[in-house]
Amino acid sequence: MYDIVIIGAGPAGLTASIYARRAGKSVLLLEKENFGGQITQSPKVENYPAFCEISGTELADKMLDQATNLGADVELDEVTGIQKTDKGFTVKGERADYDCKAVILSTGSKHRTLGLDNEQELVGNGISYCAVCDGAFYAGQTVAVIGGGNSALQDAVLLSERCKKVIIVQNLSFLTGEEVLQKKLKSRDNVTIIVDNIANKLIGTEALTALEIKNTITGEITTLTVDGVFVAIGQKPENEPFKSNVDVNNYGYIVADETCVTKDKGIFVAGDCRTKGIRQITTATADGATAALAACRYIDSL
């Protein structure tokens, strides 16, 4: 039996492994796809302290090395559920079941994508899902923001402070984000809002050069010359298998505050999969430390 099973090996889960091992607990870290999580999709990270510039894969590799060097066991397996037992929990994977005293959920979230040809190939070369992360790379350039909700409008506000021009493309005939953000954007000379249009085609092979949009009413096609496209059409937390164990909000995020404690004793949560304001590597690693130390205290109290 492990002391702690950590589900999801992004920055939150990797940091939790480091802290739990340093506290002397046995740790199993389970990952379904990609050790390192979302950050492995980022060619360049410039906002993680101590590294002026590092690729997401290199940063993830360093975290994984640190966790395994400290003695964390790692397995590639997709977790399908958690069962409470007399002695703690059984974490059910597709390949095996794992017994433990405490569980940390650090399953992260996935950005909704446009589903267009070339989209994945252009990530980091014109396509971004995070204005906070990548906005600075487009200073003085022209970008489009896809979406009209709060996240899209917040991204557009941030980008309009750095970019020459920001074009918001919304599929509905109105923006759905907060009035105050709409007012701010409408007052800015470098912001254009296009409604009733969807992103139709990404143009460019090695880097994005233009975005083709399509009017949902008339079918008219327009080509926008842009250096970047920021996709802000929502995120999807990966919490489906745990909905019977923990509380989730309307958007599927596990309800917890900075203590990283869930309503179920012995289950802790860290990183992008929980309710929080800012989803970044630094906030995920901070959660990983908090959740691990809370899990250690819980085990010591048993």
Range in contact with ligand FAD (rule: CB under 6 A) among 9-17, 64-72, 164-172, 194-202: 9-17
Nearer to ligand FAD, 165 or 279 (CB): 279
List 279, 290, 291, 296, residue binding ligand FAD (CB under 6 A): 279
d(CA 109, CA 104): 15
Q: Is 177 in the site for ligand FAD (CB under 6 A)?
A: no
* 94-130: b (≥16 Cβ within 10 Å) or e: eeeebebbbbbbbbbbebeebebeebeebbbebbbbb
Nearer to ligand FAD, 193 or 230 (CB): 230
Q: Which two tokens stand for residue 34?
A: 């990609």
- By CB under 6 A, the residues from 27 to 56 that bind ligand FAD are 30-34, 37-39, 41-42, 45, 47
CA 198 to chain centre: 23
DSSP string across 122-163: TBTTTEES-HHHHGGGGTTSEEEEE--SHHHHHHHHHHHTTS
CB-CB contact of 124 with 45 (8 Å): no
Q: Is 272 in the site for ligand FAD (CB under 6 A)?
A: yes
CB of 219 to ligand FAD, least distance (A): 32
Range in contact with ligand FAD (rule: CB under 6 A) among 19-27, 154-162, 177-185, 275-283: 275-283
Nearer to ligand FAD, 112 or 184 (CB): 112
Look at phi and psi of residue 102 and say left if phi exceeds 0, alpha if psi is from -120 to 50, else beta.
beta
Structure letter (DSSP) for residue 88: S
d(CA 268, CA 6): 9
Which residue, 203, 112, 115, 216, is CA-closest to 170?
216
Q: How many other β-carbons are positioned within 10 Å of the β-carbon of residue 28?
A: 20
CB of 132 to ligand FAD, least distance (A): 7
Q: Is 135 in the site for ligand FAD (CB under 6 A)?
A: no
Q: Which two tokens stand for residue 129?
A: 């899902």
List 193, 280, 294, 295, residue binding ligand FAD (CB under 6 A): 280
CA triplet 101, 93, 120: central angle to 5 degrees?
120
Q: How many other β-carbons are positioned within 10 Å of the β-carbon of residue 272?
A: 27
CB of 44 to ligand FAD, least distance (A): 7
- By CB under 6 A, the residues from 59 to 118 that bind ligand FAD are 78-79, 106-109, 111
CB of 190 to ligand FAD, least distance (A): 24
Nearer to ligand FAD, 42 or 262 (CB): 42
Build a one-symbol-per-residue string for 239-258: x at contacts with ligand FAD by CB under 6 A, - elsewhere.
Answer: --x-----------------
List of residues contacting ligand FAD (CB under 6 A):
7-13, 30-34, 37-39, 41-42, 45, 47, 78-79, 106-109, 111, 123, 129-130, 133, 238, 241, 271-272, 279-282, 284
